[in-house]
Amino acid sequence: MKTFNEFSRRDFLRAGAIAAGALALGNPLSLFAAKPGKKLGIALVGLGYYSTGQLGPALQHTQNCYLAGIVTGHPAKAAEWSKRYNIPQKNIYNYETFDQIKNNPDIDIIYVVLPVSMHKEYTIRAAQAGKHVICEKPMALNAGECRDMIAAVKKAGRLLSIGYRLHFEPHTMEIMRLGQKQIYGKVKSIDTGNGFTYRGDPNAWRLKKAMAGGGGLMDMGIYSIQGTRYTLGLEPIAVKARQEKTRPELFKEVDETIYWELEFPGGFVSTGKSSYNNDWSYLHVEAERGKFGLGPAFGYGGIDGYTPEGQMPFPQIVQQAAQMDDFANCVVQNKQSRVPGEEGLKDMKVVDAIYRSLESGKKENI
Ligand code: NAD
């Protein structure tokens, strides 16, 4: 058995190298080195909050890929991005010209950063244009759409990955190791929550069921569900959920706060919650020989972790840079990402079952 203090040098170097690769521009020792001299071109589709605040800047830290193109419906944004990131006119598309990307050899990967209801269509069109695809979370409106996306990308002979940046984050990777390898013994309980207090536009797509699929559960709860899955390394079989609405005038169409109990094979039951009305970001695990966990657990503004030995000593990294570099490397090596479409589907099956449980008031199989 290996405790945190005995955490192997190889593991530590691995986590450190991810950080260094993401943070140090031009670091030739990057773990994710692709073909020497050839960075893959990424085109971002949808230049909203996440592309502007995170993905565009993160692509200035990547080793294996670069920001080659954009797809936007707003000419003013196109001009601004073109100037800021030196993107040539020939690599700028709008939603009408999107499919012409197939003729553009500069673009290897299309990253779909749109409202959830558009994920399926643009992922499939991107693959049909011959490009590899990263699609943001939640993968789609429901598990059925996820299956269609996986099948279409496979048929096109391309790779699909979901924007699950935490799988490349050192504290999170350590939690996976501690839980799955039972470093502190069998896991006895898991409690996790993710949410924020919604203060945005009351007319935004996030509050419209047709565009978002749901509320706090789809947007934030997906992380708590996944956190439980990657701590245990198991797939849940059933779920019982209940919801609470304190601001029904705002959350007319989508869920505000949901609490659930997730059942795993062998009878283990975890607790989880999601919200658009509470600031939560934690994952607490109790194992036979001690407690470990994360808090903040799911954001990109800094992750902290603890074990019975104390605080985890890992660096903060540019998660999205590590995530995109890894996918570019997968494309070069023609291998599946550690967060393929199937990983998005697994989470959406749980989400679908939680919504079914809210409807039926009963435990639902996943
Ligand atoms: P946003 O509303 O800020 O941006 C959405 C973009 O889509 C805008 O540029 C908008 O112009 C464009 N768009 C195109 N057609 C549209 C239409 N018909 N209606 C509305 N917008 C349209 O949203 P965001 O916060 O950038 O989220 C985009 C995706 O990224 C979502 O799937 C979200 O869950 C995901 N996201 C992921 C993370 C993460 O940490 N991985 C963080 C934030 C957002």
> Do residue 148 and residue 200 come from a single domain?
no
Ligand 1 centre distance from Cα of residue 291 (Å): 36
In a domain, 42, yes or no: yes
In a domain, 316, yes or no: no
Task: Tell me the pLDDT band of 38, cut-offs 50, 70 and 90.
Answer: confident
Tokens linked to 361: 């008031």
Tokens linked to 155: 């048929």
Residue where a domain terminates, one of 165, 199, 220: 165
Ligand 1 centre distance from Cα of residue 339 (Å): 20
Task: Tell me the pLDDT band of 12, cut-offs 50, 70 and 90.
Answer: very low
- The CATH number that applies at residue 149 is 3.40.50.720
Q: Say yes or no to pLDDT of 37 above 70.
A: no
Query: Which residue, by CA, sits nearest to atom 4 of ligand 1?
Result: 48
Average pLDDT, integer, range 113-124: 98
Question: Which of the residue ranges 25-29, 111-115, 123-127 would you say has the lowest mean pLDDT?
Answer: 25-29
Q: Say yes or no to pLDDT of 30 above 80.
A: no
**Per-residue pLDDT tens for 238-247?**
999 999 999 9
Residue 3: predicted pLDDT: 32
Whether the CB-CB separation of 194 and 298 falls below 8 Å is answered with yes
In a domain, 275, yes or no: yes
pTM attached to this predicted model:
0.92
- The CATH number that applies at residue 202 is 3.30.360.10
- Residue from 47, 70, 113, 161 whose mutation best tests the ligand 1 pocket (most atoms within 8 A of CB): 113
Question: Which of the residue ranges 17-21, 129-133, 193-197 would you say has the lowest mean pLDDT?
Answer: 17-21
> Do residue 43 and residue 156 come from a single domain?
yes
Residue 36: predicted pLDDT: 52
Average pLDDT, the chain: 92
Please give the positions annotated as active site. 137, 223
Ligand 1 centre distance from Cα of residue 212 (Å): 10
Ligand 1: residues with CB < 6 A are 46-51, 73, 113-116, 136-137, 163, 165, 205, 219, 300
> Do residue 157 and residue 207 come from a single domain?
no
Cα–Cα–Cα angle for 252, 257, 259, rounded to 5 degrees: 140
**Closest ligand 1 atom, residue 47 Cα:** 9
> Do residue 118 and residue 160 come from a single domain?
yes
Report the distance separating Cα 53 and Cα 119, nearest Å.
Answer: 20
Average pLDDT, integer, range 267-275: 97
Ligand 1 centre distance from Cα of residue 343 (Å): 20
> Do residue 206 and residue 350 come from a single domain?
yes
> Do residue 122 and residue 41 come from a single domain?
yes
Q: Say yes or no to pLDDT of 4 above 50.
A: no
In a domain, 130, yes or no: yes
> Do residue 129 and residue 252 come from a single domain?
no
**Closest ligand 1 atom, residue 206 Cα:** 2
Residue pointed to by tokens 């699909």? 160
Ligand 1 centre distance from Cα of residue 108 (Å): 21
In a domain, 157, yes or no: yes
**Closest ligand 1 atom, residue 165 Cα:** 41
Query: Which residue, by CA, sits nearest to atom 43 of ligand 1?
Result: 50
Q: Say yes or no to pLDDT of 21 above 90.
A: no
**Closest ligand 1 atom, residue 164 Cα:** 41
Q: Say yes or no to pLDDT of 158 above 50.
A: yes
Residue 29: predicted pLDDT: 31
Closest C-alpha to 55, from 310, 245, 322: 322
Query: Which domain range does residue 88 map to?
Result: 33-165
**Per-residue pLDDT tens for 68-112?**
999 999 999 999 999 999 999 999 999 999 999 999 999 999 999
Q: How many residues does the chain have?
A: 366
- Split into its structural domains, the chain has a count of 2
In a domain, 200, yes or no: yes
> Do residue 54 and residue 141 come from a single domain?
yes
In a domain, 22, yes or no: no
In a domain, 264, yes or no: yes
Phi/psi at 258 (5° precision): -130, 140
**Per-residue pLDDT tens for 308-364?**
999 999 999 999 999 999 999 999 999 999 999 999 999 999 999 999 999 999 999
> Do residue 191 and residue 158 come from a single domain?
no
> Do residue 150 and residue 206 come from a single domain?
no
Task: Tell me the pLDDT band of 31, cut-offs 50, 70 and 90.
Answer: very low
Helix, coil or strand: residue 100: helix
> Do residue 191 and residue 157 come from a single domain?
no
Identify the helix (H) or strand (E) that includes residue 92. strand 92-93
> Do residue 161 and residue 191 come from a single domain?
no
